[in-house]
Amino acid sequence: MHNKMNSNKNLNKLMPKRFKRPSLLAWIGWVIFFSFIIMGVNNANITLDRLGNGVLNMGKFVGNAFPPDASRIGPIMQRILETFEIALVGTAIGVVLSLPIAVLAATNTSPHPVIRSAVRSIVSTLRTIPDLIWALIFVISVGLGPLAGILTIAVDTIGFCARFFSERIEEIDKGPSQALESTGASRFGIIAGSVIPIGFPSFVGTSLYAVEKAIRSAVILGLVGAGGIGVELNTAMSLRRFDEALMIIILILIIVIAVEQISTAIRKKVI
C-alpha cells in the first residue's frame, strides 16, 4: 500500500500541472493587451482596397527597379565603405568602453552597490533610447557626417555590450578570484587575472554580435544625415530612381551577409 502511494506521488510529479484560474490582475492584463491589439488594428485602417493597392504599387516598384542601375557604382561603393567604417569604429569604441562599465555594473566586481545601481541605470538608458534618436542628437551636436554615426554606434554598443558583459562577469566561477585574493592580489589584479581571461570568449562573441548589429544600424543612420550609404539610398528613393535604389539594396545585402558569415566563423573558433 505504501509503495502504491509513493508510485502515485511520483506519477503526479511527472504529470503536467493543471491550468490554474488566472488572478484578477492577470485578467486585467489580458484585457489591456487585447484592447491595445484591437485599437492598433483599427487605427491602422486595414482594408482590402489598401492591401490590393499596396500589392499593385509593390509590383510597379519592382518593375521600375529592374534591372539594377550600376552606373554610379563608384560613389555607392565609397558610401558602403564609409558605412562599414562607421560601424567598425563605433563598435570598437563601444566595446572598449563597455568592459570597465560592465565591471562597475556587475555584482561581484562593483566597488559599491550605489555605483552598481547608477551604472546599470545609465546602461539601461543608453539601451532604451533608439538609434535614430541618438543619431539626431549627435547630428545636432557635432553636425552631419560620419562622426555623428560613429558616436551613435558607440553609444548603442555600450548599451548592448555592457549589459551582457556584466551578466557574464556575474556568472564567472568565484574559485579563481578567491585564489588570487588569498595571495593578496589587488582588486584590479583579480579582475585582470581571472575575471577578464575567463569571460574573454563570451566577450568576443558578444562583440561580434554587436558588429553585425552596427552594420544594420549604420545603414539606417544615413537617413538622418549621420553618414553612410543611407544618404545615397534616401536620395535615390526620394528622386524615384528605383533601379539605383535596388543596386544599393543588393550591395547592402551582400555586405551584411558577408559580415555575418565572417562573424560566425570567428565565433566558432574563439568560443
Residue 257 inside a domain? The answer is yes
User: Does residue 148 sit within a domain?
Assistant: yes
Residues 6+ apart with CB under 8 A from 219: 83, 228, 229, 230, 233, 252
Nearest Cα residue to 155 out of 171, 133, 188, 177: 133
- pLDDT of the residue at 89: 92
Would you state the pLDDT for residue 129? 87
Is residue 33 a part of any domain in this protein? no
CA 127 – CA 147 distance, rounded (Å):
20
d(CA 40, CA 17): 34
Q: Is residue 100 assigned to a domain?
A: yes
How is residue 90 written as a grid cell? 563605433
Q: Give yes or no for residue 4 having a pLDDT over 70.
A: no
Residue 259 is assigned to a structural domain of this protein: yes
In a domain, 52, yes or no: no
pLDDT band at 154 (very low <50, low <70, confident <90, very high): very high
Which pLDDT score is estimated for 92? 93
Q: pTM to 2 decimals?
A: 0.77
- DSSP string of 83-150, one letter each residue: HHHHHHHHHHHHHHHHHHHHHHHSTTT-S-HHHHHHHHHHHHHHHHS-HHHHHHHHHHHH-SSHHHHH
Using only C-alpha atoms, what is the Rg of the chain?
A: 26
Task: Cell numbers for 37, please give them.
Answer: 491589439
Q: What is the pLDDT of residues 36-91, one digit of tens each?
A: 888 888 887 877 888 888 888 888 878 877 888 778 888 888 888 888 888 899 99
Encode pLDDT of 222-258 as tens digits: 777 777 788 888 888 888 888 888 888 888 888 888 8
Residue 191's domain comprises 75-270
**145 close to 230: Cβ distance less than 8 angstroms:** no
In percent, the amount of the chain with pLDDT more than 70 equals: 88
Residue 49 lies in a domain: no
Band (pLDDT 50/70/90 cuts) for residue 168 is confident
User: For position 271, what pLDDT does the model report?
Assistant: 64
Tally the domains of the chain.
1
Cell numbers 559580415 correspond to 259
CATH number, position 166: 1.10.3720.10
| Alpha carbons 220 and 217: distance in angstroms, whole number | 5
Q: Is residue 91 part of a domain?
A: yes
Calculate what percentage of the chain has a pLDDT beyond 90: 7
